[in-house]
Amino acid sequence: MDFITGETLYIDKPLEWTSFDVVKRVRGVLLHRLHRKKLKVGHAGTLDPLASGVMIVVTGRSTKLIESLQAGVKEYIATIKLGATTPSYDLETEIDATYPTAHITRELIDGALTRFVGRIEQVPPAFSACKVDGKRAYDMARKGKEVDLKPKVLVVDEIEVEEFNPDEMTLRLRIVCSKGTYIRALARDIGEALGSGGHLIGLRRTRVGEVSVDDCLSVDQVVELIRTTDITIPDDQES
């Protein structure tokens, strides 16, 4: 393998790791193996720490492919808790409001989900990396400042109910969508469409473009691959 000319790694990001944690781990092992002080390593499409699944990591000159790789359609398995909201729309923050759920049925859910297929507008979460006046929205939100984010147009190709548990008021969905879709914001909007509230309690990215989670290695497997595989170690190439 030639990590300087460029390689693409498919990694199953674990829960509680940031995308940067994965890149840092891969870069550290590569630098040690290649006996170098620097090497370009990047990723195509950020995953929140509370999400797991497909993460594409590229090295060397393949970092030029990041934009095209992250443009691929994404598939997620999302679990939403209905009847309650949080400021971050997921489990990063505590519940701030609760809502009635007795009226929610599978038929109501099926009808509401049709509104979220196709081209839709979505307001990103305040707890996101979007920039407002040059500042990250999440930095402002965590300081208790009001964040004014504009709606973005995106495309949701498919939403399929995998399971609805009326006792727990949890809804598991398979979602196929375009780059830039915030599944946390979708959980918020679905909760509102059901005349209640909702927040994300589980998220797994199962596909990016043609890359499935079945194609991915764990972080430990990638580390072992780098340490044991035959690697081209040129003396005169720049990273």
pLDDT in tens, 208-234: 999 999 999 999 999 999 999 888 776
58/88 Cα distance (integer angstroms)? 30
The more confident residue out of 150 and 158 is: 158
DSSP-based three-state secondary structure for 141: helix
> How does pLDDT run across 159-190, given as a tens digit for each residue?
999 999 999 999 999 999 998 899 999 999 99
Non-local CB neighbours of 18 within 8 Å, separated by 6+ positions: 49
| For residue 19, pLDDT beyond 60 | yes
CA dist 7 and 57 (Å) reads: 8
Confidence bin at 11 (pLDDT 50/70/90): very high
Angstrom CA distances, 164 to 111, 113, 168, 171, 174, stand at: 14, 13, 9, 5, 12
pLDDT given at position 238 = 44
Pinpoint the alpha helices (H) of the chain.
Answer: 19-34, 66-70, 106-113, 137-142, 183-193, 219-228
Q: pTM of the predicted model, to two decimals?
A: 0.90
Six token digits for residue 200: 């994300």
Q: Of the spans 36-45, 99-108, 116-125, which averages the highest pLDDT?
A: 99-108
Pairwise CA distance, residues 191 & 188, whole Å:
5
Rounded average pLDDT over 20-49: 93
DSSP 116: G
Backbone angles phi, psi at 206, to 5 degrees: -100, -10
Question: Which residues carry out catalysis?
Answer: 48
User: What share of the chain in percent tops pLDDT 90?
Assistant: 74
Report the chain's mean pLDDT, rounded to a whole number: 91
